[in-house]
Amino acid sequence: MQEIIRAEDLRVRFIVRKRRASLFAPREKAVVEALRGVSFSVNAGEIVGYLGPNGAGKSTTVKCLSGILTPTSGTATVFSRVPWQERVAHVRKIGVVFGQRTQLWWDLPVQDSFDLLCDIYDLDKRAYAQTCRELVECMDIGDLLRTPVRQLSLGQRMRCDLVASLLHRPRILFLDEPTIGLDAVSKLSLRAFIRDLNREQGVTVLLTTHDMDDVEALCRRVLLIGRGRLLLDGSLDDLRRLAGGKRVCRAQVRKADFPLPPGAALRSRRGEEAEIEFDPETLAADQLVLHLARTAGLRDVQIQPPSLDETMAALYRQMGEVEG
């Protein structure tokens, strides 16, 4: 496997000036450690989910790797280049999409934005026309090309932004919350597009998101970051294990009230539907089911791992307790 992104001990320290308390008060400065030594590497062809709560340092990392931000210390290479030292050569090789912010020209029709990018990247006209045609067809934005960007819906704009980030055929794509605010249909089509891009063309993707369905659908590997430190580099199962490996038992029970064995806790109860969380380390699933059958009048049962959203919430709570 060819390694194409490597970050070594990235540290970013910002100095934030606070507003003066009064006209003559000295201005207070606060040091914010956005990254406190983050190291990881990504191989060609991977889709890696980059996760963490707000303010954990996700965007800061992406900014360093895309050459916008110079870290306080540490180093990184992308295609054996240090992004912030050779910004212009570097950005020619990568695609970046910020979900919250468009790369397109607000007042211009979509096609004009694409054509301008062709000029800015100095692309070969014929190759550009070909790429553009393929991407437009793939993302199904043919009808939008004559529309000014400001008139697009969020989902339409996002599809156009994704196309724009790929016109120069980058081998790496940084996606920062690409599905934020999108409706279900747009999300699904965006995910399918990213998956195909990765599978068929081998484009490496670093995906920052809060949408755990994105992660589940796309990423085999995740990096979890909290307060500027890398907390996990592994699979989704590793993530669940880190969160405590709890299981959720959804049971239909006749009795309104029933005792629970140690290691299990009732999370919710609606009519006959009870949701019980338990820790398989201390309480085996069959023991719980037997117990429910004996004491609660069990009718039906389903045992699942907690959703990724629940896993993340549990993890973020733990992080708060550990570091806060």
User: Looking at the chain, how many residues does it have?
Assistant: 324
Does residue 139 touch another protein according to CB under 8 A? no
- From the list 228, 205, 231, 233, the residue with the least C-alpha distance to 218 is 205
Q: What is the spatial distance between Cα 136 and Cα 109, in angstroms, rounded to a whole number?
A: 14
CB 174 within 8 A of CB 69: no
Question: How far from chain centre, in Å, is Cα 286?
Answer: 36
- The size of the interface with another protein (CB under 8 A), counted in residues, is 32
Q: Which stretch binds another protein (CB under 8 A): 20-28, 69-77, 225-233, 290-298?
A: 69-77
Does residue 60 touch another protein according to CB under 8 A? yes
| 36, β-bridge pairs | 11
Residues in region 187-216 near another protein by CB under 8 A: none
State the DSSP code for 220.
Answer: S
Residues in region 26-45 near another protein by CB under 8 A: 34
| 97, β-bridge pairs | 175
Q: What is the spatial distance between Cα 61 and Cα 65, in angstroms, rounded to a whole number?
A: 6
| Candidate list 66, 77, 131, 179; residue touching another protein; CB under 8 A | 66
Does residue 167 touch another protein according to CB under 8 A? no
| Candidate list 4, 5, 10, 12; residue touching another protein; CB under 8 A | 12
Q: Which stretch binds another protein (CB under 8 A): 43-51, 87-95, 132-140, 218-226?
A: 87-95
Cα dist. 160→21, 85, 146, 149, 150 in Å? 45, 30, 12, 9, 12
Nearer to another protein, 20 or 294 (CB): 20
Does residue 15 touch another protein according to CB under 8 A? yes
Does residue 302 touch another protein according to CB under 8 A? no
Does residue 96 touch another protein according to CB under 8 A? yes
Does residue 289 touch another protein according to CB under 8 A? no
- Strand-pair category, 298-304 with 3-17: unpaired
Does residue 108 touch another protein according to CB under 8 A? yes
Does residue 84 touch another protein according to CB under 8 A? yes
Nearer to another protein, 35 or 288 (CB): 35
| Candidate list 1, 88, 184, 185; residue touching another protein; CB under 8 A | 88
Nearer to another protein, 70 or 302 (CB): 70
Q: What is the spatial distance between Cα 179 and Cα 157, in angstroms, rounded to a whole number?
A: 11
Cα dist. 215→38, 50, 156, 224 in Å? 21, 9, 22, 12
Q: What is the spatial distance between Cα 190 and Cα 173, in angstroms, rounded to a whole number?
A: 14
Does residue 57 touch another protein according to CB under 8 A? no
Write out the two tokens for 84.
């912030």
Q: What angle do CA 219, 239, 218 make, to 5 degrees?
A: 10
Report the nearest approach of another protein to the CB of residue 117 (Å). Answer: 8
Report the nearest approach of another protein to the CB of residue 168 (Å). Answer: 8
Report the nearest approach of another protein to the CB of residue 60 (Å). Answer: 7
Does residue 129 touch another protein according to CB under 8 A? no
Is residue 57 exposed (0-12), middle (13-18) or buried (19+ Cβ within 10 Å)? buried
Does residue 91 touch another protein according to CB under 8 A? yes
Cα dist. 3→70, 141, 204, 271 in Å? 22, 34, 11, 53
Report the nearest approach of another protein to the CB of residue 173 (Å). Answer: 12
Chain residues in the site for another protein (CB under 8 A)? 12, 14-15, 34, 60, 63, 66-70, 72, 84, 87-89, 91-92, 96, 98, 101, 103, 105, 107-108, 112, 115-116, 119-122
